[in-house]
Amino acid sequence: MVAALLTSGCGFKLRNDFQLDPRFQKVRVLNASQKTPLTETLIKRLDIYSADVINRSNPKQHHEFSVPTLFVMPERLERKLLSLFPTGQVAEYELLYYCQYQLQMPNGDIQDYSFELTREYQDDPDQVLAKSRELNLILSEMRRQAADRIIRQLSKNKYQN
């Protein structure tokens, strides 16, 4: 009990243990195409924080403009060569995942945000199927990390009413 009091008294919080700003308990999520993996992941992650997500699939709520709107831009992935095998085949890549979005508040202010995530990925030409699955897993994890970062940025109380 003493340890719990000491850690809570110093401001310690568990990772991802924060409250979503009340202004974002209802948010519209839009993107260029109907469904993208990042948008799907973002909607699932917002659901964890009990946010009411309005998207294009709900036509009754499509014309509601009194809620913040997230415009998720298409994600972009680049691979940079890091190292080669002695045979000249690629041994290791750096994956660069670029994320851009805009936040439009009900008062009309639009704010642009962008960030990049990086990961290293080791390739093995002898195990193409396994490495393909590993790459898909890494991309899924990067999308989850990007969605969490967007939510953390929303939870910072720096947006104006």
- What confidence score (pLDDT) does residue 119 get? 93
Tens of pLDDT along 14-70? 555 557 777 888 889 988 776 789 999 999 999 988 888 887 554 444 445 688 899
Domains with residue ranges and CATH for the chain: 19-155 (3.30.160.150)
Kindly give the interhelix angle for 37-48 and 128-155, rounded to the nearest 10 degrees.
Answer: 50
CB 150 within 8 A of CB 42: yes
- What confidence score (pLDDT) does residue 141 get? 96
pLDDT at 123 over 90: no
Q: Which residues pair with 76 in a beta bridge?
A: 98
| Band (85; pLDDT cuts 50, 70, 90) | confident
| Band (138; pLDDT cuts 50, 70, 90) | very high
Average pLDDT over residues 113-118: 95
